[in-house]
């Protein structure tokens, strides 16, 4: 069966520091991969999605970036965090080339001080 | 534009039945998904309707009418643990398989 791992679960970072969140998927090949952010009490905002290695599409221009160095690895990064980057970051996957639903990792709660 | 509308809050009592409606306006619609999210947790997939009609999974059912751009999630025999936020999400056309999300419905189940 397929599983998705996301870490760390919580992270506290100072303003201006770099960020690296990692997500890996097991049990499937060539998945679609997604990064979302959710502010407290709000809906999900799609940040990036990827349909293959090295293929990244950005939905919202900001100081975040994403990379997919391997088929089942998706990384969210920032060179300098802003206060507004605080939130709940969620990685998700879906079966590549299909209309199957997305499934989420456990999320990373990021607090910027 | 593309959007989904669902009620912001619903309250019900244990053992009752509740229906959460979702209307959508999207281009290239493929299907409607429902997700449950408990406070502090990640969304978990509940159901997906690609065709018109009712899909039943235990106490939860989901319905879709493409002609009305409308769907609903039906929760039966409500339990306290069903208190959570419920999101509808429309699967969009294209190679990216993007989801267009509603803002979520907060369900409170009272004793």
To the nearest whole Å, the CA of B45 is away from the closest chain A CA by 6
pLDDT at B46 over 80: yes
Mutate to test the interface with A, among B3, B29, B43 (most CBs of A within 10 A): B43
Q: Does A86 touch chain B (CB under 8 A)?
A: no
Q: What is the pLDDT of residue B94?
A: 64
Average pLDDT over every residue of A10-19 = 96
Average pLDDT over every residue of B23-52 = 92
Chain A residues within 8 A of B50 when measuring between CB atoms: 99
pLDDT at A42 over 90: no
* CA B5 to each of CA A40, B22, B102: distance values in angstroms, whole numbers, following the listed order: 19, 6, 6
Question: Is the model more confident about A23 or about A41?
Answer: A23
CB contact under 8 A, B103 and A32: no
To the nearest 10°, report the CA torsion of B49, A55, A105, A82.
-120
Q: What is the pLDDT of residue B5?
A: 95
Please name the residue that has the structure tokens 């408990």: B38
Please list, in sequence order, all residues whose beta carbon lies within 8 angstroms of the beta carbon of residue B37, skipping any fewer than 6 positions away: B43, B44, B84, B85, B86, B87, B104
Q: What is the pLDDT of residue B27?
A: 78
For the segment B79-90, what is each residue's pLDDT rounded down to a tens digit? 999 999 999 999
pLDDT at A44 over 70: yes
CB contact under 8 A, B101 and A49: no
Per-residue tokens: A6: 């996301």
Q: What is the pLDDT of residue A61?
A: 66
Q: Which of B21, B4, B18, B30 minimizes the C-alpha distance to B92?
A: B30
CB count, 10 Å around CB of A69? Answer: 9
**CB contact residues (below 8 A), chain B span 15-74, against chain A:** 30-31, 33, 35, 41-45, 48, 50
Cis peptide before A8 (omega within 30 of 0): yes
Mutate to test the interface with B, among A49, A60, A102, A109 (most CBs of B within 10 A): A102
For the segment A49-90, what is each residue's pLDDT rounded down to a tens digit? 999 999 999 888 688 999 999 999 999 999 999 999 999 999
Q: What is the pLDDT of residue A96?
A: 79
- Minimal Cα distance from B45: which residue of A? A103
């Amino acid at each position: 069966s397929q599983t998705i791992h996301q870490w760390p679960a919580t992270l506290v970072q100072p303003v201006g520091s770099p960020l690296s969140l990692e997500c890996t998927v097991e049990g499937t090949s060539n998945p679609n991969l997604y990064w979302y952010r959710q502010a407290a009490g709000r809906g999900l905002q799609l940040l990036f999605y990827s349909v293959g290695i090295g293929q990244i599409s950005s939905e919202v221009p900001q100081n975040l970036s994403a990379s997919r160095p391997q088929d089942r690895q998706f990384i969210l990064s920032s060179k300098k965090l802003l206060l507004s980057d605080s939130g709940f970051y969620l990685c998700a996957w879906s079966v590549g080339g299909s209309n199957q639903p997305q499934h989420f990792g456990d999320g990373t709660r990021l607090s910027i001080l | 534009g593309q959007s989904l509308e669902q009620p912001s809050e619903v309250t019900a009592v244990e053992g009752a039945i509740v229906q959460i409606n979702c209307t959508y306006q999207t281009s290239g619609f493929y299907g409607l998904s429902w997700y449950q999210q408990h406070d502090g947790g990640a969304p978990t997939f509940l159901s997906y309707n690609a065709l018109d009609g009712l899909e039943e999974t235990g106490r939860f059912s989901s319905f879709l009418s493409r002609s009305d751009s409308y769907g609903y999630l039906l929760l039966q025999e409500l339990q306290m643990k069903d208190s959570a936020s419920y999101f509808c999400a429309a699967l969009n056309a294209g190679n990216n398989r993007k989801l267009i999300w509603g803002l979520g419905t907060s369900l409170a189940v009272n004793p």
